[in-house]
Amino acid sequence: MKITNAIERLEALGGDKWAVYKMARQMMADGHDVIEMAIGEPDVPTPEYLIDAAMAALRSGRTGYASSAGENNLRHALAERYTRQADREILPEQVLCFPGTQTALYAVISAVAASGDEVVLGGPMYATYASVMASTGAKMVPVPLQAENGFRIQAADIEDRITPGTTLIFLNTPHNPTGAVLTEQDIADIGAVAASFGQIEGRDRTA
Ligand SMILES: Cc1ncc(COP(=O)(O)O)c(C=O)c1O
């Protein structure tokens, strides 16, 4: 059987952390009192109105394919919301919906970073980022997050790690797992670093 590069890239990562997670879940199912500090499973119940709306939609026959870009009314609602938030016009055609963050990240990284391109991001990081990154072939360049900076990623630390191979800077705020929230100044500083490296080897990296 032919094994693709993607499988080879992922094989090296192993699944140790998921083995711990599965063991904890099994212990809970067996009645042990476990405090789970792993993935961000919400600890509040799904609101009744969402369950009712989903059930009503299913019962009314909405069981077929949806638009893969996202339902039109949702794309319009999101465009309006982000137009207000960003204070510039965002069109519904500029909104794409994904079934989860991993899929969205995979699509964005695949679109922007060629295999071997570098992605700078803060570490520690969310549990699945290494696998998402590895599956695209992009190279992860972690910036250690420091307690003395409140675990907020620093523009100067990012700057130190930018090379001609850098295509992406990942910002996660509020950050998981540290909970750090970037300030407007942090984001402006990081933006200035990105802009200053924007034109390398004729490639526009600021888009
Ligand atoms: C920072 C971060 N990225 C990604 C995810 C995963 O998102 P999804 O389950 O939508 O793929 C989470 C989930 O908690 C997260 O905290």
pLDDT 10s digits, 80-112: 999 999 999 999 999 999 999 999 999 999 999
Q: Confirm whether 52 is domain-assigned.
A: no
More confident residue, 55 or 130: 55
Alpha carbon of 4 to ligand 1 centroid (Å)? 26
The most distant pair of C-alpha atoms in the chain lies apart, rounded to whole Å, by 60
pLDDT digits (tens, 9 = 90+) for 18-33: 888 899 999 999 999 9
pTM: 0.82
Q: How far apart are CA 79 and CA 74, in angstroms?
A: 8
Residue 91 shares a structural domain with residue 104:
no
Residue 108 shares a structural domain with residue 195:
yes
For a ligand 1 pocket test, name from 102, 132, 182 the mutation site with the most ligand atoms within 8 angstroms of its C-beta.
Answer: 102
Alpha carbon of 70 to ligand 1 centroid (Å)? 19
For a ligand 1 pocket test, name from 103, 176, 181, 182 the mutation site with the most ligand atoms within 8 angstroms of its C-beta.
Answer: 176
Quote the mean pLDDT of the chain.
90
Q: Confirm whether 1 is domain-assigned.
A: no
The boundaries of the domain holding residue 177 are: 99-200
CA distances, 170 to each of 142, 152, 203 (Å): 10, 13, 19
Token pair for 34: 């476990």
**Cβ of 129 less than 6 Å from ligand 1:** no
**Cβ of 102 less than 6 Å from ligand 1:** yes
**Cβ of 172 less than 6 Å from ligand 1:** yes
Q: Confirm whether 144 is domain-assigned.
A: yes
Residue 130 shares a structural domain with residue 75:
no
Q: How far apart are CA 77 and CA 95, in angstroms?
A: 10
Q: How far apart are CA 113 and CA 139, in angstroms?
A: 9
Alpha carbon of 58 to ligand 1 centroid (Å)? 26
> Measuring CA to CA, which residue among 32, 196, 74 is closest to residue 206?
196
